[in-house]
Structure 1
Amino acid sequence: MTLKVTAAVSIATFVLSGCGTLNTVLRDDVAATRELRKQKTYCQSIPRVYSGLAFDFCMLNAPPDMTGVLVPLVLVDMTASGIVDTVVLPYTIYQQSVLGNMGIYWRPSGS
């Protein structure tokens, strides 16, 4: 493999590993919401329909990331999540009607 192909595959793998849709559709609720709790998002729940986009918006709705890396990655992921969310829409509509929203609960330290 050339260096360009290796770099492209590495970047694609990195982006997909953080993909909001993969985190919310292919993983159980506890695993999916753990990342949002870790980022201390201010969101309390996310819908299952277009859950990847909701996941990404919740990642942005958190205390500021001092490294400056999170925001550009989330913005790139929003495009991919929007496309994949549309593809899995029949499944997520069914899941939403059966299970409702995914709850995200955390307590700020000292509370």
Structure 2
Amino acid sequence: MKIQAMVLAALTLAGCGTVQTVVRSDQAAVDSLKEQRSYCGAVPRIYSGLAYDFCSLHAPLGKGMDADDHKNAAIPVVLIDAVVSGALDTLLLPYTVYKQQTEGSIVIN
């Protein structure tokens, strides 16, 4: 049971918006959002995990996907990730404020 919980936590954090934008390179976050064809033009570094999650939701659907099925399946996952990202973003706030001042937002387009 303990190992399963650790694996679940690792998988959750790997897809976490904060990990995608703060820990990984800017180009990795840009590539991920471009792959999803998100309509967002930039992601601010302050609370970037939450912004990344909502940019992921603000993307067109892939081929062969029903709009209602996709949105209904994605909402619970994004809500869970938003809670985790919000907590991590708050802990990382001093660092992300500094990065926002020195480097600006992560530009997608």
TM-score under structure 2 normalisation? 0.84
Letter in 1 for 2:76: P
Question: CA separation in 1, counterparts of 2:52 and 2:10?
Answer: 18
Structure 1 residue 6: deviation in Å? 3.4
Tell me the number of residue pairs that the alignment of Structure 1 and Structure 2 aligns. 102
The equivalent residue for 1:77 is 81
- Which of residues 11, 14, 25 is equivalent to 2:11? 14
Structure-1 separation of matches of 2:107 and 2:84? 23
- Segments of structure 2 that go 5 or more residues without pairing to the other structure are none
User: Which of 90, 94, 97 is 1:93 aligned to?
Assistant: 97
Residue among 10, 25, 28 paired with 2:25: 28
Inter-partner Cα distance in structure 2 for 1:11 and 1:72: 16
**Larger deviation, residues 92-101 vs 6-15:** 6-15
**1: CA distance, partners of 2:104 / 2:34:** 19
Q: 2:56 — aligned with what? A: 59
The answer to whether the 8 Å contact 1:15/1:73 transfers is no
Q: Which runs of 4+ in 1 moved over 4 A?
A: none
Deviation string, structure 1 residues 25-84 (Cα, Å, up to 9, x no partner): 111110122111111111000100000000001001111363744433222110000000
- Return 5+ residue gaps in structure 1 as ranges: 106-111
TM-score (norm 1): 0.82
RMSD: 1.7
Deviation of 1:9 (Å) = 2.3
